[in-house]
Each structure stands twice: as C-alpha cells, then as structure tokens.
C-alpha cells in the first residue's frame, strides 16, 4: 500500500429519512454510496473484465482473503503491487476476512479461541486463520477496506450457540484492532447475533465500542426467513454509528437492497447477480426472468426494454436462450453484464432519489414494478 495514499474517510452528503448519500475516500479513489460491490472472490468477477466493471460505474469490488491466501498467496499479490494492480482494476478493493468460509466450508475446518483451522479446499494443506494473520494477509493484499475476522453464525442456531459465537467474534475483533499496522487501510468490524434481538444489541454494543473505520451487519441471508433478515438488519443498523459507513453483508435481491437503503445502510455485496446469470436468470425492471424457459424460444424482445446495457440493446431473448441452452460462454457473459448493469443503475437511481428527497416513493414504485412483473409471470406459468 502506498504510504502517501489518502487516509480512509467517509462523508455524508444528503439524507432522506434514514437513507443517505455518502462518499468513501480510499487509497484507490472515491466511491459513492449507496454502493453495491460485485463479488470477485479470487480477484476476478466471474465472466467480467475489470475495465468492463469500471465502465459500468463500479468503483469497488469485493475479494476474499482466505481464497487468495490459499492461491496465489498474499505475499505474491503484495509483490505484484497489491490486489487492485494485480487484477487490473482501477478502483478500490474490500476483502472479506475469511470468516464466512468458516461456515460455508465447515466440513474442512474447525473453530477455536485462537482462530479457524482450515484444510485447504484445493489440496488439503493446513491453514490456520487467526485474527492476527487475517489482518496480516489483508494488509499484504493491499486491500482498501479490510474486514475483521468473525464467526458467521449459521442458521439455525440455538440462542446459547449464537451467544457464544458473537462473544468469540468480539474477542477476535479486539485482536484485529491490535494487529492492524497500516493506517491507510480501513478496518471494519462485524456485528453478529443470528436472529435474536437481544444478541444483536449485545454484539452491536461490543463491536461499536472498538475503533473501527466502519461497521457491518453479518450473519444474515444465511438461510433465515426474509422477514427475520430484514428485522435484524433494521435493528442492527440503528445501533451502528451514523458517522461511519454501514455495510450489510451478503444481501441480496433488488427489493432487499432498496429496503436496506431505506434503513440507512451504505454498502452491499452479494453473489446473486453473477451466480444467477451463470444459471440463466436475469434481474429486470419487471422482476427475475429465467431465460431457460421455453416461452423465450421465439421471443424477439430484449431481456429488459427499460435497460440500455449492451446485452439488452444487442440480443433478443430468443438468442440468449439459444446461447444458454447451447452452453455457450457468451450466455454467462451477456447475462452477467446485464445483471451488474441493472444493480449499478439501481444504486445510481437510489442516490438520485435520496438527493431529491423522493426515496420512499422511488423504492415503493420500483419494488412494486418488480413484484408485479414476477406475479404476472408466475400466474402464466402456474
């Protein structure tokens, strides 16, 4: 990381209710919020080139410290000038610490007070991720924003299990703060607590007592009912400092993002737009469309008539279905580009609505349009 890089900061420019427009200042440039971050786990957003992401307006993407530590190694990435330079992206990078992998790769790890003991998903080699090594790895990667190591509580979890998990997360958070040595790289803490309001409050109190540059709500969208996810997200964000960026991890659908922005969250990430695209699903202004369905076989219309992305202005639904059914790589490329364009535009429209103090009406209209389109399609299908 460049020692002359600007210190991380966050400025709020406008509010509308709890929704707000802000600006993150990072060593690799400024990021307007609300912001959605495409997921580039292994320093690559699947099916997309970095300059294409930049052209769509993305100024920050997410990568994963655990996966990059396993391959190609944090030291190598650091020697290559840091993760942004290594992957050829002109913007900022946020790295998840690897805490989520403690849950998603539970079959090859064990968790103790010291940290997470992995067996590499590639070759079985042992890797122990401690709060200290998680910070060391992220600093070596040159991340603009680093995440404290946490235990992402699985769902369902009994109250006592969730309490033990958030207490461990709090102790790890303290160690992460002490381990940090790079002042130009921001460090965010993560509140846990599963779906229990009392635990969410306890975790938020513990995490916000520590001097983090930003705060996140973690452990949501991991299988719990949507109503519980939104309830816990709203409860948590109200307990996070208003002068710091507030990050809702792993969420979600366009409707969820619109609801979370209204709660006061500033940052989001999710694999949905890229993963769904590779599986033939597109997010549109009229809801989710499955291009695999036979109804699109002779459909000459664009994927989304309201969209001006390259996919929608070039290809018909019929051609996109042909590409997908034929197993052509272009199907994943086109649908991924569309989905990320859609998410990026949604964030810009949200910012404009907040600036004009019309966010509530904008969110309601957009959500209703999406849900009406999906209901109409389901009615035809059923």
Question: Are the CB atoms for 271 and 39 separated by under 8 Å?
Answer: yes
pLDDT of residue 277: 98
CA separation for the pair 112, 109 (Å, rounded): 10
pLDDT of residue 347: 98
pLDDT of residue 382: 35
Render pLDDT for 61-103 as a digit per residue (tens, 0 to 9): 999 999 999 999 999 999 999 999 999 999 999 999 988 887 8
CA separation for the pair 338, 49 (Å, rounded): 14
Say whether 256 is catalytic: no
pTM: 0.96
- How far CA 320 is from CA of 14, 144, 163, 204, 280, in Å, comes to 40, 37, 48, 45, 9
Which of the residues 150, 256, 269, 304 is marked catalytic? 269
Say whether 198 is catalytic: no
pLDDT of residue 3: 52
Ranges of the chain whose pLDDT falls below 70 = 1-5, 380-382
pLDDT of residue 120: 80
Q: Where are the domains of the chain?
A: 9-270, 277-381
Q: What superfamily does domain 9-270 belong to in CATH?
A: Queuine tRNA-ribosyltransferase-like (3.20.20.105)
57: left (phi over 0), alpha (psi -120 to 50) or beta: left
Which of the residues 96, 150, 256, 266 is marked catalytic? 96
């Amino acid at each position: 990381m460049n020692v002359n890089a600007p210190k991380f900061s966050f400025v709020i420019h406008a509010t509308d209710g709890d929704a707000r427009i802000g600006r993150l200042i990072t060593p690799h440039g400024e990021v307007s919020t609300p912001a959605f971050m495409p997921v580039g786990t292994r320093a690559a957003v699947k099916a997309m080139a970095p300059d294409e992401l930049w052209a769509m307006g993305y100024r920050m993407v997410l990568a994963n410290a655990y996966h990059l530590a396993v391959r190609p190694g944090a030291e190598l990435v650091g020697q290559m000038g840091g993760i942004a330079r290594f992957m050829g992206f002109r913007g900022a990078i946020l790295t998840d610490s690897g805490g989520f992998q403690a849950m998603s790769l539970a079959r090859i790890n064990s968790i103790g007070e010291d940290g997470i003991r992995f067996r590499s998903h590639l070759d079985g080699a042992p890797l122990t991720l401690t709060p200290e090594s998680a910070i060391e790895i992220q600093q070596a990667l040159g991340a603009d924003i680093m995440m404290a190591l946490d235990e992402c509580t699985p769902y369902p979890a009994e109250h006592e299990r969730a309490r033990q998990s958030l207490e461990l997360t709090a102790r790890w958070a303290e160690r992460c703060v002490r381990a940090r040595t790079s002042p130009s790289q921001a460090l965010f803490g993560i509140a846990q607590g599963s779906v229990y309001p009392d635990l969410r409050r306890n975790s938020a109190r513990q995490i916000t007592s520590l001097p983090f540059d930003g705060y996140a709500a973690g452990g949501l969208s991991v299988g719990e009912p949507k109503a519980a996810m939104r309830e816990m997200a709203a409860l948590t964000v109200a307990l996070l400092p208003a002068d710091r960026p507030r990050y809702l991890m792993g969420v979600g659908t366009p409707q969820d993002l619109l609801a979370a922005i209204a709660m006061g969250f500033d940052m989001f990430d999710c694999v949905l737009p890229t993963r769904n695209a590779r599986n033939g699903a597109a997010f549109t202004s009229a809801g989710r469309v499955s291009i695999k369905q036979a109804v699109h076989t002779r459909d000459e219309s664009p994927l989304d008539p309201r969209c001006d992305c390259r996919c929608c202005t070039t290809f018909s639904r019929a051609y996109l279905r042909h590409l997908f059914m034929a197993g052509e790589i272009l199907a994943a490329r086109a649908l991924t580009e569309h989905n990320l364009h859609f998410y990026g535009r949604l964030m810009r429209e949200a910012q404009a609505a907040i600036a004009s103090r019309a966010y509530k009406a904008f969110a309601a209209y957009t959500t209703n349009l999406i849900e009406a389109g999906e209901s109409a399609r389901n009615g035809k299908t059923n």
